[in-house]
A and B are shown apart, each in its own frame.
Chain A
Amino acid sequence: MADFNIAAVLTPEVALAAMALILLAIGLLIPPSARKGMMPLTAFSLIGVLSYTLYDFFYNPKTSFLNGLYWHDQFAVYFKILFLAAALLVVLSSGGYIQKIPKYRGEFYSLILTATLGMMLMAGAGEFIAMYIGLELMTISFYILVAYLSDNPRSSEAGIKYLVLGATSSAILLYGISLIYGLTGSTQFSEVASGIGATFSPASFLATVFILAGLGFKISLVPFHFWAPDIYEGAPTPVTAFLAIASKAAAFAALIRVYLLTMNSQAFSATGQTLLVVLASLTMILGNLMAIPQTNIKRLLAYSSVAQAGYLMVGIIAESAAGVRGVLFYAMIYVFANMGAFAVATHVSEKQGSDEIRDFAGLARRSPLAAVVMTASLLSLAGIPPLAGFVGKFYLFSAVMGKGYTAIAYIGFVMSMVSVYYYLLVVKVMFLGEGEDLPDVPVHGATKFTMLFSFIITIAIGLYPTPLAQMAIAAAQSLVP
């Protein structure tokens, strides 16, 4: 059993871990003036890993090691591509922002990489403890990143809140895992599934609920979403972006594996499925509703990302390859849509020192590119064609309707149209507001690249979704044949 080719399975993870350590060392060794070069260095190493991962996706076979402790299947690799792409875009758009932090010490990029590593572990984990380790690696990195602006009381407040709530949730998750272990004697997904069988006991319910709550916390599923807006608002903007995009996707990767392999409705409970429908609906409704009165762009995006979690849950409820494909597809385009929006938010926040929506006034005049990218990204989040979000929603909801759930499709479509309302409020400020007293904020370099890249991908996938769709279906079928 123990024969495995580490090169085929763990190369990206190992490379990333090494890179994180190297960056940490470099940050300590080189003088502050030379730390500017760390962003490109990180970016290039990420590009390298990403290229390998892409190769990995298409050419390396499905394997696992240590009795299914860690999986290398297209599902996992797909998510790795997603995390790496997100990390790359975050890094690219964060250059200027991080430079301006007075106590900038170079470990920022290292932490981004460790967080990415944690996510990759979550995506590949075939066992609860490995998943937990990945999750904690990611989360602890995020604790630091969220509180990275150590002089800013908001940032540290967000950090401490995240830490306490995150630790509580992971304790609850762990408690659930321990119960599962007690019930089945194993922590491996496949064995757990066979161990639990079709027997129900209060303990198995409790374990399920605890695990659902623990992962639900990470994906900010209502009613476990309360932390999200506060932390998103307090964290440095690039971190918020990474948190909103990648950590959520990682939790989804774990949740899909856990849910589909161990707790799905055949193996477990129809009630559970009803419950998920209710929770997903609540998430879509409350997330979108609470976004409406927000005045801070990050808080708005936070609530919007809560709502997006609801849409993604829809794909899980479908419990089918089509549903998983929808989640995968949507998660990927969600990266680019959100990244476009956050790149603009980061840029404005860097130049104007503000995250308030009213300070976006006249952005269409002051920086047309930023305004256009912001508009396109927000509308993609809302699912307006021809942007990618529409196709993604179509995949998700056609999957769930294929299973006979129609009510949730109504809720989803209507609420995404409601979301257009608050997105358009931002658009209105950018296009209608005069912003006479605000400075011109031209976009340059890596930030411009990030924006343009996200924008183009968002439109390109919306217009021609086939390549990504086929990747997603391949990945989904590697998990759910």
Chain B
Amino acid sequence: MFKEMHDLFQWAWLIPALPFLSFLLIAFVTKRSKGLSSTVSILAILTALGLAIAIGLGIIQSGAELVEHPVIVSANWLNIWGLKIDIGTVVDPLSGMMLFVVALVASMVQIYSLGYMQGDKGWSRYYAYQSLFAFSMLGMVLATNLLQLFIFWELVGLCSYLLIGFWYFKVSAREAAKKAFITTRVGDFGLLLGILFLYNKFETLDFTALSAALSTNLQNVAVVGTVGYVTVMAFLIFMGPMGKSGQFPLHVWLPDAMEGPTPVSALIHAATMVVAGVYLVAKMYFLFEASPVALQFVAGIGAFTAIFAASIAIAQDDIKRILAYSTLSQLGYMVFALGVGAYSASLFHLMTHAFFKALMFLGAGSVIHALHEKQNIWDMGGLWRKMPITGTTFFIGVLAISGVPPFAGFWSKDEILAGAFQNGHPIIYAVGLFTAFLTAFYMSRLFFVAFMGPEKPQNHPHESPLSMTIPLVILACFSAIGGLAALPEHNFSFFIHFGEFEPEAMNWGLAGISVVAGLLGIGFAYYIYVKEAIKAESIAARFPIVYRILNNKYYIDEVYLWLIHHIMDGLGKVLYFIDIYIVDGIINGIALLTRGSAKVLRRTGTGQLQTYAMVFFFAVVVIFMVFAFGEGQLSSLNPLAMLGGVK
């Protein structure tokens, strides 16, 4: 069984290669023909999806054997003195799951875009970027080593940059793209350092080899140093995820990234790219596990981000921004899940979140499309009636994220909370639980305000075309039933786990608590926004400072901007001043001195012939004096002539 599958797995490289081919085709051949471009791109990603599904099925069939022995195909990429890097593909359940999720969401988004991007001038460019993104993301998922992962990691960053700034003529989009790139770059700085230190220590970047090296050397203090060394490396590696997955304090770019086209937000900034950080931590989990401090840190950052972002989401009015903060919050969930040791739960949540968050973003896109680029939820209302498919699927998404059984989010979120509780992190559990409540609250708020309530007369919404609704329906199905993967005997955590596999039974008690928290949130929102029993405005009015802080996202953007504009740019200006007037000034000063002294010396040529004669004779006398009286004394000065160092 495994043998036949092995042959299939060797072809995994085709999955990223197809979109790449499509990118090249669009860029160099079909860019003038809109229809061809999108066809090529969608065909490529659908084929990739097919392959991904085939591989996924193959993985399920291979069963435990594959879990123990991932299929790795690799070739040399760089080979110089002291640095040898391979590039290849790894097929294991984790990468198989990611392949499926990425390919699925990417194909849905690309199909959806057929409707959403209708009439946009940059159509071909859009699909070229989409293909490039699909290539990069799929390539990252298949990476066999850290450097390969980093390369694709940066490439998805590039695609994110290009797609956020897709409407480059919008100043906001341009700035958001820049911000996204630079903020993640800060994280990448740490990641790069981590990679360097790791290679430096273990002479390899291969995940399996690293894992083996670390486990054999962990006891050997002489090689690894103290645990502190591992901790430092783990911290550095974690900086990458902090940037990419928008963990506090590098989360600021993600809400702004919503300036891109909504399908892009769905694909990149909700379902796939932003979870790359989680994926990386999962891949490097052996490193984090070796350092309890680092794990603690990961959990802390994750939990804080979860509640922090959720609290901001409550006070936002922009539909995409609410979703963006929700994404941040959910990413925090995944991260702290990893931190508390709920490895499979985190990745499970990664998958389910991809389904329902992509669904909600696409739904939001459908709404925005229908309302001609209106994004403020207070400008919407009563949309369910006009847009039944969008409304229904969106509602499924809300239920899923709120953790209402049997929707997908319930299963994954519950596992995370259970993991936190059972692994002895009560505070984090509490935070997670409260976040679950907040999540349900603000998502319901969004839903109630935008889809229920009175219609706004100025709006003339209509249901979106089939190209947009079909992906919604498909994703809604996955959001509804995706969580059931937790149920069978060979369930999700059988395939994707860290260390020894220990099947765990559902803890229905804990599950009940989290369901209650979710329902509470929904009810609360219903009470405020549908029943209007308590006026939202009055709450805001009662806590004006809190509201303002939340509405302004804790002013973190402002702080950063101040730092950038005053500290960084100011330093730049100061250094420039120094450069011009001191470093260069010295040079110019020497030049000026030379020219000035030349001008002065020039005056010695007075044109008076008798002066010349006198100077001449005077010089003769002086030289004679030196000669006559300096002999002996002066020759001791002779070495002076030899000064200069070389000799």
Contacts and interface: CB of A to CB of B under 8 A. Distances in A.
B607 to A, nearest CB: 6
Interface string B608-622: 010111011101100
A314 to B, nearest CB: 12
B647 A213 contact: no
Contacts of B644: 406-407, 409-410
Contacts of B613: 164-165, 168
A194 B392 CA distance: 120
B598 A293 contact: yes
Nearest to A291: B598
Contact of A277 (B609, B628, B641): B641
A408 B620 contact: no
B605 A210 contact: no
Nearest to A160: B609
Nearest to B605: A229
Contacts of B635: 269-271, 274
B643 A227 contact: no
B624 A206 contact: yes
A402 B540 CA distance: 88
Contacts of B607: 230
A273 interface: yes
Interface string A281-324: 00000100111111000000000000000000000000000000
Given A293-B602, A406-B642, A271 B630 contact: yes
A404 B627 contact: no
A213 B627 CA distance: 13
A202 interface: yes
B599 interface: yes
A275 B628 CA distance: 12
Contact of A275 (B620, B627, B643): B627
Contacts of A418: 594
Contact of B620 (A160, A213, A291): A213
Nearest to B595: A292
A404 B609 contact: no
A271 B627 contact: yes
Contact of A165 (B605, B609, B627): B609
Nearest to A172: B620
A396 B619 CA distance: 26
Given A202-B628, A271-B630, A289-B598, A224 B616 contact: yes
A230 B638 CA distance: 35
A272 interface: yes
B623 A226 contact: no
B634 interface: yes
Contact of B605 (A278, A290, A292, A406): A290
Determine chain B's interface SS by DSSP, over half rule.
helix
Of the candidates B597, B598, B628, the one having the most CB atoms from chain A within 10 angstroms of its own CB is B598
Of the candidates A202, A217, A230, A290, the one having the most CB atoms from chain B within 10 angstroms of its own CB is A290
| Residues of B in contact with A, size category | 35 or more
Nearest to B613: A168
A53 to B, nearest CB: 35
Contacts of A278: 641
A209 interface: yes
B626 interface: yes
A394 interface: no
Nearest to A168: B613
A278 B624 CA distance: 14
Interface string A409-442: 1100000001000000000000000000000000
Nearest to B622: A223
A47 interface: no
A217 B597 CA distance: 24
Contacts of A272: 627
Interface in A243-286: 269-275, 277-278, 286
A401 interface: yes
B601 A286 contact: yes
A209 B631 contact: no
Nearest to A164: B609
A210 B643 CA distance: 29
A97 interface: no
B1 interface: no
Given A406-B642, A410-B644, A230 B605 contact: yes
A205 interface: yes
Contact of B619 (A161, A224, A273): A224
B645 interface: yes
A271 B626 contact: yes
B612 A227 contact: yes
A229 B623 CA distance: 23
A110 interface: no
B640 interface: yes
Contacts of B623: 209, 212-213, 275
A65 interface: no
Contacts of A270: 635, 638
B83 interface: no
Contacts of B624: 205-206, 209
Contacts of B601: 286, 289-290
Contacts of B602: 290, 293-294
B216 interface: no
Given A270-B635, A274-B638, A290-B598, A223 B616 contact: yes
A169 interface: yes
Contacts of B597: 289
B140 to A, nearest CB: 53
Nearest to B611: A226
A405 interface: yes
A406 B645 contact: yes
Nearest to B641: A277
Contacts of B645: 406
B627 A205 contact: yes
Given A205-B627, A271-B626, A405 B616 contact: no
Contact of B616 (A160, A226, A271, A290): A226
B627 A209 contact: yes
A206 B623 CA distance: 9
A404 B640 CA distance: 11
Given A172-B620, A229-B605, A293-B599, A404 B626 contact: no
B646 interface: yes
Given A227-B612, A289-B597, A406-B646, A213 B619 contact: yes
A226 B631 contact: no
Contacts of B118: none
Contacts of A200: 631
Nearest to B606: A226
A208 interface: yes
Given A172-B620, A224-B616, A292-B594, A404 B631 contact: no
A401 B645 CA distance: 12
B76 interface: no
B622 to A, nearest CB: 9
B604 interface: yes
A161 B609 contact: yes
Given A172-B620, A270-B638, 8 more contacts: A165-B609, A168-B616, A206-B624, A213-B616, A213-B620, A217-B616, A271-B631, A271-B638
Task: Give 5 nearest A-B pairs by CB, closest first.
Answer: A406-B644, A292-B598, A223-B619, A226-B612, A270-B635
Interface of B: 594-595, 597-599, 601-602, 604-605, 607, 609, 611-613, 615-617, 619-620, 623-624, 626-628, 630-632, 634-635, 637-638, 640-647
7 contacts: A169-B616, A213-B619, A289-B597, A290-B604, A405-B642, A406-B647, A418-B594
